[in-house]
Amino acid sequence: MNFAMIFRILGWMLMFEAAFMAPSGIVAAVYREGDVVWLIASMGLCLAVGALMVLVSRPKNKRIYAREGSVICALVWFLYSILGALPFRLSGYIPNMFDAVFETASGFTTTGASVLSDVEALPHWLLFWRSFTHWVGGMGILVFVMAVIPLAAGGSTMYLMKAESPGPSVKKMVPKAGQTAGILYKMYFALTAMELVILMILGMPLFDTLCLTFGTAGTGGFAVLNSGCASYTVAQQVVITIFMILFGTNFSVYYLVITGHIKDVPKVSEAMTYFSVIGVAIALITVSINHMYPSTLLALKDAAFQVGSIITTTGYSTADFDLWPSFSKWVLVLLMFCGACAGSTGGGMKVSRLQVAVKTVIKELDNAIHPNNVRKIKYDGKPLEHSVLRGINVFIVAYFMVMAVSILLISVDGFDLETNFTAVVATLNNIGPGLKGVGPTSNFSGYSAFSTCILIFDMIAGRLEILPVLVLLSVHTWKDGDLFTRPMKSRRRTRKADEALLDEGF
């Protein structure tokens, strides 16, 4: 294990977290809020710890592999959640540290689950920091920094990008991973700016526009009003709906558009399936809730908003869907599992994984009927290698194991099954609200410190797609000693093993 490089990268990341807090200080200055001193103290601590880690690390070898990439990625997200909680805790607006970490982890992982019952009581700078964590975590913390500075030598940054980026596989759009990160963030900036401009034209206040756009772009869900998004105009809600769906689309689609390959967009089966699922879900829910609304158009508007919010794992709400018929609620629960596209800012299991899982079932049924047939699973016209299929199967098994254990553990708090089930599903899939006790008009403050820690773990594990967090906790990750003090032959074997893990979807 290259501990020196791990310390160095973690140090740089903590200094960047201090920089990420800086815009909130500008907001405090605009609104003349004096308690911003706690934000400044948090920035100073992040900067000091980060600088110290960089100074003491001094790595002789700046290369890292899949194992270090997974460890770094998981540690960054846990550290960001803990240190990013300091403004909430030190200012006293969230006096319990566990709740403060929950709120921050929910922000960075773009979950949008909250322990706050009165968000309007928070000062503007803290509301801004709360929403800005969505935007920072949406495309990926490490991906953002890689777009600015090289963190490791050679192609090592690809291991960091692989561990953090959502979806079963990460492909470089251009030969260098850093350039790929830059292209992703350019598209991210462009879509963010478009939504900002449109919402401002439609008359939304600037502060609300910034916070809601950050949440939409990161597919987060923190609102700045206690009523969520219900108080905004129909036109503003429609714009938010459209951009939630756009940010849940695989960014490779936008890359095809800007590079002049528009005719290839329909060939991206994941995106086509994603839009089809959204259309069907909106139609089903509109029919189901139509009797509850004065007009079909209003029912359609709320159905589209909630479908877009849930499948993209954004978590905004314009209605209390916990009051909808059971059919509509369980359509939304199924969308929680489905999630958005790979290579987007959305969470969930991802449409592409579910597509491959269905193809695998069909193949096995065909083999049961025709044992002598040889049939390869194809995706977008290309046969999938066994390592990709194995990686997807491992993810699905690990996903349901984590979900089952989490539900069991938080059940000690005594909440009903529907509350516990949807609380875990909502956090593991980075959705935000669940049903019943954690529904859109409730929050997660009722859980004990123990259950809160479980749900924090679920949010981070769900955002990083389970495996990097499990690698961090694995004994085998740490027992081999320093990667660069072992014989060269052993190092070659380790590198080949790490590269194999990368190819399998690590």
Q: Would you state the pLDDT for residue 297?
A: 96
**The token pair that represents 272 in the structure block:** 């086509």
Q: Would you state the pLDDT for residue 164?
A: 63
**What is the pLDDT averaged over residues 84-112?**
95
Q: What is the pTM of this model?
A: 0.88
Cα-Cα-Cα-Cα dihedral sign, residues 447, 452, 457, 461 = positive
Question: What integer best gives the mean pLDDT of the chain?
Answer: 86
Tens of pLDDT, residues 184-222: 778 999 999 999 999 999 999 999 999 999 999 999 989
83 pLDDT above the threshold of 90: yes
| In contact, 248 and 346? CB cutoff 8 Å | yes
CA distance 420 to 449: 15
Tens of pLDDT, residues 234-255: 999 999 999 999 999 988 899 8
Q: Would you state the pLDDT for residue 499?
A: 45
| In contact, 343 and 459? CB cutoff 8 Å | no
CA distance 68 to 74: 10
C-alpha distance across the termini of the chain, in Å: 17
Q: Would you state the pLDDT for residue 487?
A: 40
For 402-436, give one letter per residue: b (16+ CB within 10 A) or e. bbeebbebbbebebeebbbbbbbbbbbbbbbbbbb
Helices within 32-96 (DSSP H only) = 37-57, 66-83, 86-91
**What is the pLDDT averaged over residues 86-107?**
96
Tens of pLDDT, residues 432-446: 999 999 998 899 999
Q: Would you state the pLDDT for residue 478?
A: 79
CA distance 15 to 146: 14
| In contact, 22 and 43? CB cutoff 8 Å | yes
Cα-Cα-Cα-Cα dihedral sign, residues 138, 308, 353, 106 = positive
**What is the pLDDT averaged over residues 65-75?**
85
Question: Strand, coil or helix: what is 95?
Answer: coil
Q: Would you state the pLDDT for residue 170?
A: 43
- 61-75, 166-180, 387-401: which has the minimum mean pLDDT? 166-180
Q: Would you state the pLDDT for residue 161?
A: 61
| In contact, 116 and 228? CB cutoff 8 Å | no
452 pLDDT above the threshold of 60: yes
- 58-62, 74-78, 135-139: which has the minimum mean pLDDT? 58-62
Q: Would you state the pLDDT for residue 348?
A: 86
CA distance 269 to 441: 36
CA distance 161 to 174: 14
401 pLDDT above the threshold of 90: yes
CA neighbor of 151 nearest in space, from 42, 173, 143, 102: 143
CA distance 141 to 460: 12
CA neighbor of 140 nearest in space, from 217, 208, 194: 217
- Considering the chain, what percentage of its residues have pLDDT values greater than 90? 58
CA neighbor of 320 nearest in space, from 441, 494, 432: 441
506 pLDDT above the threshold of 60: no
Tens of pLDDT, residues 418-427: 999 999 999 9
Q: For residue 424, how far is the Cα from the chain centroid?
A: 15
Identify the helix (H) or strand (E) that includes residue 383.
strand 382-383
Cα separation values, 298 from 305, 329, 474, Å: 11, 18, 50
500 pLDDT above the threshold of 50: no
Tens of pLDDT, residues 26-47: 999 999 998 999 999 999 999 9
Q: Would you state the pLDDT for residue 504?
A: 39
Tens of pLDDT, residues 130-185: 999 999 998 878 776 766 666 655 555 566 666 666 555 545 444 455 566 678 77
Q: Would you state the pLDDT for residue 267?
A: 87
| In contact, 427 and 459? CB cutoff 8 Å | yes
Other C-beta atoms lying within 10 Å of the C-beta of residue 487: 8
Question: Strand, coil or helix: what is 182?
Answer: helix
CA distance 357 to 352: 9
Query: Which residues share a beta bridge with 379?
Result: 382
Tens of pLDDT, residues 266-311: 888 999 999 999 999 999 999 999 999 999 999 999 999 999 999 9
466 pLDDT above the threshold of 80: yes
Cα-Cα-Cα-Cα dihedral sign, residues 121, 128, 235, 204 = positive
